[in-house]
A = this chain, B = another copy of it.
Amino acid sequence: MKLKPQQLREFDELGYLVIQDCFSELEVAVLRAEAERIYASNREEVWHERSGAPRTAFAAHRYNEAFAILGRHPRLIEPIEQFFGEPVYMHQFKINAKAPFDGELWQWHQDYGTWKRDDGMPDARAMNIAVFLDEVFAVNGPLMFIPKSHKGGTLAAVHDKATTSYPLWTLDNETVTQLVEVGGIVAPTGRPGTVLMFHGNLAHASPPNITPFPRKIVYLTLCAVSNHITKFTRPEFIAHRDFTPITACEDGALFDYAQRYKVAAE
């Protein structure tokens, strides 16, 4: 899947791009079911909130067939190759749960702030792609973006190890206020299968989920191969050290898998 010039311009201006219904309900249903199985498993890659609810599952593309296909899907890989003009590798892969009632906030941050400081990634030539597994409403802890906040580079941040179970380099209130004065705040919503692409320096956060609605999102962090990380301070399942270029699978691969999965379940 290639992005149109208008989409590239929009991304450049705002720092993010929304692609509604990028995956079909059949394709998403299998990922949703497999995500729940992964959360229920007892693996070091699955992290929990203080309440015990799942928070995030890392590296599922390595131990789960459905997510392995997603991690090589051309609808995700090709646009990022297009952005960076070179092959990409998987820097991080996670399924964030934002569980009903218990899903805690993610503080205001830039992803590249962490990739640079913790992982020694040379440049902001890596990007997150979010794939909605559940419908994201305004009320169930949507991702909030500050449009245009990617334009100021990597901003000062503090390493917050206390607010949630996940250590994060977070922006202070004054910085967020200044960015919001320029760009405002948007919280894109959409059906399962919707995809968000956002710049590594785009400031974002998400509030807790206090509703009964689940809000699972898969995040692929795709990095230009020439921009691979140089510091190995985090576990390998969080910041991967395999810089092999990803070869995209067929566009119909997840659909075919989902059909076989459905037949097997019946």
Contacts and interface: CB of A to CB of B under 8 A. Distances in A.
Contact of A139 (B108, B144, B173, B176): B144
A205 B211 CA distance: 9
Interface in A127-178: 137-139, 141, 144, 173, 176-177
Interface string A99-111: 0110001011000
Contact of A205 (B105, B107, B210): B210
A210 B137 CA distance: 17
Contacts of A207: 139, 141, 207-208, 210
A115 to B, nearest CB: 23
Contacts of A210: 105, 107-108, 144, 205, 207
A26 interface: no
Contacts of A144: 139, 210-211
Contact of A212 (B105, B107, B139, B180): B180
Contact of A208 (B108, B187, B208): B208
Interface string A198-220: 00000001011011110000000
The list of the 6 closest CB pairs from A to B, nearest first, reads A138-B138, A177-B212, A101-B173, A180-B212, A207-B207, A139-B185
20 contacts: A100-B173, A100-B177, A101-B176, A105-B210, A108-B210, A138-B139, A139-B144, A139-B185, A139-B187, A141-B207, A144-B210, A144-B211, A173-B212, A176-B212, A177-B212, A180-B212, A180-B213, A185-B211, A205-B210, A207-B208
